[in-house]
Amino acid sequence: MRSLKPITAIVFILSALTFISTSSCHRKGSAPAAPEQNDTILPLGFLEDTLVMVDDVVKSGETFTGLMTRFGMSSQDAWLLSQRCDSIFDARKIRAGNPLTAYYNADTTEGKRLEYVVYNADKAHLTVFRCADSIGVWNVEKPIETRQEYADVTINTSLWNDMTAAGASPLLITSLAEIYAWTVDFFGLQKGDRFRILYSDSWCEGELMSVDTIYFAVFNRDNLEQPAILYDQGDGGNQYWNEKGESLRKAFLKAPLKFTRISSTFSYHRRHPITGQVRAHTAVDYAAPAGTPVMTIGDGTVISAGWAGGGGNTVKIRHNSMYTTAYLHLSRYAKGIKAGARVRQGDVIGYVGSTGMSTGPHLDFRVWKNGTPVDPLKLESPKEDPILPENLPALDSVYRMYKARVDSISGR
């Protein structure tokens, strides 16, 4: 397997592949009060090494004013600071678990005094609160580097393990799963399956922030290739196609939840784990942690959402005159899910549980075609509209360019 590395030899020629250059740290806003000399000092706007630092995190259920009073501000000053935030920072959106640092001046006759608090929205985006003298607030952005990357992953044990072993971040798996959700069964990957991917990601101070865009990917199994080509027609619709201009998006998702294992397959002769009786199990069971979001595999109307005996909390959806699906043993339903509700493909309809006759958290997923149970793993999904005929030549050019580069990098 090849380790993940920047594609230094590749220059993307399409305008869609123009990457943003890094920007230096800067202050976006300032307090509506008398200026402080240290405000112009980078990166945070004050002299850190003259103060005593205390690292902490936002506690569950903690409000902005509660947080500031915990660090030593008076309730009145904390409220005033929240008002000064205005459009610079939404004090209602501090998130539990996010790190922050309090800075104290210990050289006062009154003991230590809170001078600043720095809140980390993420690695690259910080907000500085000036808590003494002239109260104020400003945002700081650290430099973000956007890289062009290539990953080559062959399945030996699992996609997660092999992605990591290849030097690629598991964050890439989520993007791949979204693109190939209708064409590749990520629960049924086999040893020897291979993904090759051209993509971009963002880094801050040596830490991966996000996987941004997959421009091209090829999934190989048994010498058969399934390419995914990014091409935006500008109509707000599908953006990924195969080399023939067929949409990778289908009417039905391959699976109703992400990154689990199949614990039981479709069968007319299965021994029930609780009763011990041999009977039909016209479903696929996906083992997953309790609370895992469950999605509808396609657009449709909720027929029912309620208790279904041994099936526990169950949602049943009619997709069209031919197909109906059901999602059993849910711990709870998503907001708004009830009989008559319209749902769109990928909408969360509930969460994995173990209600009804169940030995542990899992999703029992069922599909009917014209009223007859069918194996969800063998479900043939109707296709979406192909790319517009006038865009097919451009798509072909993009495909040939990407394919040649991937083959060149991988040495194929």
Mean pLDDT of 380-403: 90
pLDDT digits (tens, 9 = 90+) for 273-296: 555 554 567 788 998 899 999 999
**In which region does residue 276 sit, left (phi positive, over 0), alpha (psi from -120 to 50) or beta (all else)?**
left
In angstroms, the CA 115 to CA 98 distance is 20
Strand partners, 326: 316, 366
CA distances from 295 to 315, 344, 410 (A): 11, 9, 36
- Percent of the chain clearing pLDDT 70 (strictly above): 83
> Residue 389: is the preceding peptide bond cis (ω within 30°)?
no
In angstroms, the CA 91 to CA 42 distance is 24
pLDDT beyond 90 at 49: no
Write down the pLDDT at residue 401.
95
Q: The pTM is what?
A: 0.61
Mean pLDDT of 226-242: 89
Write down the pLDDT at residue 273.
55
Q: Which of 128, 122, 115, 137 is nearest to 71 (CA)?
A: 115
Label residue 34 by pLDDT band (50, 70, 90): very low
Write down the pLDDT at residue 13.
31
Write down the pLDDT at residue 378.
83
Mean pLDDT of 98-113: 83
Amino acid at 370: N
Write down the pLDDT at residue 280.
63
Write down the pLDDT at residue 154.
94
**What one-character-per-residue DSSP string does 220-288 give?**
EETTEEEEEEE---SSSS--EE-TTS-BS-BSS-S-SSSS-EEEE--EEEEE-TTT--EEEE-SEEEE-
Q: Which domains does the chain have, with CATH numbers?
A: 2-16+145-241 (3.10.450.350), 37-141 (3.10.450.350), 261-378 (2.70.70.10)
Write down the pLDDT at residue 230.
96
Length of the chain in terms of residues written: 412
pLDDT digits (tens, 9 = 90+) for 2-33: 433 333 333 333 333 332 223 333 333 333 34
Q: Which of 258, 257, 252 is nearest to 344 (CA)?
A: 252
Write down the pLDDT at residue 367.
93
Label residue 357 by pLDDT band (50, 70, 90): confident
In angstroms, the CA 62 to CA 356 distance is 37
Residue 88 tokens read as 């610079």
Residue 139 tokens read as 């945002």
Write down the pLDDT at residue 31.
37
Write down the pLDDT at residue 79.
93
179 Cβ partners below 8 Å, 6+ apart?
214, 217, 228, 240, 248
Mean pLDDT of 396-404: 95
| Cα 195 from chain centroid (whole Å) | 19
In angstroms, the CA 123 to CA 88 distance is 18
